[in-house]
């Protein structure tokens, strides 16, 4: 009987449980023993593992979080030899890893020693090598729902509501969620804004009699000649910066400079906490099944990616490139501009 490992690493993303259920269903059906490694790399270092049975995984796909636990705090840098030794002690024939850039960067050193299958994951949608990641659609739906809901209170009070979306250095969540909800203003890191242009846009809306205004700002967005606000750092984490404060700063600036009462809302981890949307479920079902097939075929060093409307295979190194940012003239940017929104 073959013994396969399953590991989820980095920040959780809606759909991780779908990957687990889909891959395990296929592998258990084919008689594999599946060892769940808990809490990302920490499970390898500390031998935190559990055997996964059929009854563990039923209906997991509809739940947020990850059945295995995860961590975005610990990497492998400086502990490579220890990691490899602990990995060997698990006596696995291979491992399926669902993770983001931090996770795959942490595995770069072991590409020749560990039989690996990769599954790209992040709500930020900024992983290189794939056109979309699961969790992203669900995060966008949280942003869109928030814009829809907050528009009512913005209009009721004649206020500007500034909503902060996650995404680190990429603006995909703010852009996708803001576009789906026809937000008035969308600010993303890839398009540093001009205070002057922003002010005149807001004043135009004000003078035109608009009651309320809804702004979506990515946590990493910033004005020209400024940089994103790092709220704090998580020492030793593969990506140590934690962004925050963009919505607060902007709402104070709007109230002062545009004389329009403003409030801010930080969506934070709600964007990761919702049950996956059907789109994310389709993606994780297809990717989970494909990852299991790859493991059974021994296609080590490969990953599942989404390209041109299909789930295909690619070298795992494709996921290890720099973040995939929003092109400044992306077609979604142009769509928002056509709606009359500021971006």
Q: Is 302 in the site for ligand F6P (CB under 6 A)?
A: no
Rounded distance, CA 223 to CA 299, Å? 45
Looking up tokens 């931090």, which residue turns up?
A: 102
Judge whether 126 counts as a catalytic residue: no
Q: Considering the candidates 124, 126, 280, 318, report the single residue annotated as catalytic.
A: 124
Rounded distance, CA 114 to CA 110, Å? 6
Binding residue (CB under 6 A) for ligand F6P from 121, 272, 281, 330: 272
Q: Is 15 in the site for ligand F6P (CB under 6 A)?
A: no
Residue 23: which residues within 8 A CB-CB, separation 6 or more? 6, 96, 288, 289, 291, 292, 295
255 beta partners: none
Find the residue with minimal CB distance to ligand F6P: 166
Encoding tokens for residue 140? 């966008």
Residue 201 vs 243, nearer CB to ligand F6P: 243
Binding residue (CB under 6 A) for ligand F6P from 166, 175, 198, 285: 166
For residue 34, give the 3-state DSSP assignment. Answer: strand
For residue 266, give the 3-state DSSP assignment. Answer: strand
Alpha helices by DSSP H, listed for the chain, are: 16-29, 41-45, 54-57, 80-89, 101-107, 136-157, 172-180, 195-207, 246-258, 270-273, 278-297, 331-339
Binding residue (CB under 6 A) for ligand F6P from 25, 159, 168, 205: 168
For residue 70, give the 3-state DSSP assignment. Answer: coil
> How far apart are CB 274 and ligand F6P at their closest, in Å?
13
Neighbours of 40 (CB within 10 A): 28
> How far apart are CB 184 and ligand F6P at their closest, in Å?
23
Binding residue (CB under 6 A) for ligand F6P from 123, 163, 258, 295: 123
Residue 5 vs 244, nearer CB to ligand F6P: 244
Residue 156 vs 231, nearer CB to ligand F6P: 231
Q: Is 129 in the site for ligand F6P (CB under 6 A)?
A: no
Residue 168 vs 222, nearer CB to ligand F6P: 168
Q: Is 124 in the site for ligand F6P (CB under 6 A)?
A: yes
Q: What is the dihedral of CA 144, 149, 151, 156, to 10 degrees?
A: 180
Rounded distance, CA 126 to CA 105, Å? 14
Residue 124 vs 137, nearer CB to ligand F6P: 124
List binders of ligand F6P among 23-52 (CB under 6 A): none
Q: Is 167 in the site for ligand F6P (CB under 6 A)?
A: yes
Residue 64 vs 90, nearer CB to ligand F6P: 64
Residue 227: which residues within 8 A CB-CB, separation 6 or more? none
Count residues contacting ligand F6P (CB under 6 A)? 12
Question: What track of x and - describes contact with ligand F6P for positions 229 through 268 (by CB under 6 A)?
Answer: -------------xx-------------------------
Residue 183 vs 267, nearer CB to ligand F6P: 267
Binding residue (CB under 6 A) for ligand F6P from 70, 72, 141, 302: 72
Buried b (16+ CB within 10 A) or exposed e, 308-318: eeebebbebbb
Annotated catalytic sites, by residue?
A: 124
Query: Which residues are near ligand F6P by CB under 6 A?
Result: 11, 72, 122-124, 166-168, 219, 242-243, 272
């Amino acid at each position: 009987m073959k013994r396969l490992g399953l590991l989820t690493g980095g920040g959780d993303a809606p759909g991780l449980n779908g990957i687990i259920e889909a891959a395990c269903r296929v592998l258990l059906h084919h008689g594999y023993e599946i060892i769940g490694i808990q809490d990302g790399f920490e499970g390898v270092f500390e031998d935190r593992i559990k055997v996964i049975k059929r009854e563990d995984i039923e209906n997991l796909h509809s739940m947020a979080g990850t059945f295995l636990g995860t961590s975005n705090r610990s990497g492998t840098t400086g502990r490579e030899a220890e990691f490899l030794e602990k990995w060997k002690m698990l006596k696995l024939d291979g491992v399926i890893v669902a993770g983001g850039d931090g996770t795959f960067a942490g595995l770069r050193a072991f590409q020749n020693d560990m039989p690996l299958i990769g599954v790209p994951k992040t709500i930020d949608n900024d992983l290189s090598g794939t056109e979309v990641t699961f969790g992203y659609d669900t995060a966008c739906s949280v942003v869109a729902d928030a814009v829809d809901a907050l528009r009512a209170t913005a209009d009721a009070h004649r206020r500007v509501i500034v909503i902060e979306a996650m995404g680190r250095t990429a603006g995909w969540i703010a852009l996708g969620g803001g576009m789906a909800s026809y937000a008035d203003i969308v600010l993303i890191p890839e398009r540093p804004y001009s205070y002057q242009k922003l002010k005149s846009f807001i004043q135009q809306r004000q003078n035109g009699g608009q009651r309320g205004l809804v702004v979506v700002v990515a946590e990493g967005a910033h004005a020209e000649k400024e940089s994103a606000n790092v709220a704090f750092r998580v020492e030793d984490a593969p990506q140590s910066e934690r962004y925050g404060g963009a919505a607060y700063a902007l709402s104070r600036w709007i109230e002062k400079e545009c004389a329009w009462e403003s409030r801010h809302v930080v969506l934070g981890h709600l964007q990761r906490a919702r049950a996956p949307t059907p789109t994310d479920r389709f993606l994780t079902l297809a990717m989970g099944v494909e990852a299991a097939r790859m493991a059974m075929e021994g296609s080590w060093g490969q990953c599942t990616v989404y390209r041109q409307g299909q789930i295909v295979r690619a070298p795992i190194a494709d996921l290890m490139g720099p973040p995939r940012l929003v092109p400044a003239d992306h077609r979604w940017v142009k769509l928002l501009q056509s709606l009359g929104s500021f971006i």
